[in-house]
Chains A and B, each alone.
Chain A
Amino acid sequence: MTRGWWRTNRAWLVALVVALGLLGLVTWRAEAVQAWWTTQPHRAAAADADGWARVGDVSYRLVGLEEVGALDDGFGGTVEAPDGYALLAADLSARSQDRPPGSEAETSFSCAAELRDTAGRTYAAGASALDGVPFPEPLTCAGPVSARVTQYFLVPDGAVPAEVRVVDRTLLPAYWSLPVPATG
């Protein structure tokens, strides 16, 4: 390889290095990254000016979020949050879009609500760590719906809610993102 060879082929050598780099970038853990991206909530459907966020043909709105001392256990009793924890109730409204008659999607209840706090911690609805808490109300993710549901979350004291998410595993990575208004 003479100096002339290097000079003659230097552009191709640079192209080779760039091509190898691009190939590595494309294939490097591509399957794992793709799987992770599509199986986690990564594409937020943000709320509009009225607070409605839409994924597919269903929209959700966070009507309110407040701390409650106890929740109904469904058998006439109540379940209270012990010291060190807080029970939060998120009030959600759901509505479906107008569609031509006969074109409604099949109703699906495969989604669940999550609460995310300002520290980035995520809590599933249901407060299942408390004994006697009933299963959370089902949330409609597709099909005709007009509903108002309450979802309960158990969080440690001091957690500051930032966002309520409604996640349907079949629609990931899209999810409904409902920001919690900051309180003064």
Chain B
Amino acid sequence: MARKDIQLDHEVILDLIKPQSTVLDLGCGNGDLLYLLIKEKNARAQGIEIDEQAIYKCVAKGLNVFHGDVDSGLAEFKEKSFDYVVLNQSLQQILHVDKVLIDALRVGKKVIVGFPNFAHFRSRLQMFFQGRTPVIGALPYQWYETPNLHFLSISDFKNYCRIKGINIERSVCIGQLRRINFLPNLFAQTGIFLISK
């Protein structure tokens, strides 16, 4: 199933989304995932992105995208406007995570969240043996230049969903090259969750 031309996290998300769905991608970046969703899943897709240069790249791909921040951009949509709301690698960079997730679950019938796992064994080792803030594949930034505001683990997110009464419909944990089924909170670099309320 692995395809060389597609990032593994994008491949996982494509698998989670039914054809002909409506999708809102929060923090869509250059629009690579949106483009795939339209091409491969015939989705009606809309992005929101804060970076102006990324907007130009999205427009060049023929995508519909709103220039704005995720924190405020979501409130303006009606309930269940989309089949899926996607927060891939953007959750950890959002100021008010809790508010945005609740709003995403309001606006989307389902929500897909993808984030770097802070509890990966390599970051644990770096913390334990070097006493340094971890820098690993999925968390490639030094502490002084990271855009990430929140550091969470796969277990953290599961716990959050339990407390908030959010259903985890599916979870897929991946390393850089493959899916991780054994002790994902230790061995997976990225967690991808399909959730609903």
- Genuine A/B complex: no
Binding site for A on B (CB under 8 A): none
Binding site for B on A (CB under 8 A): none
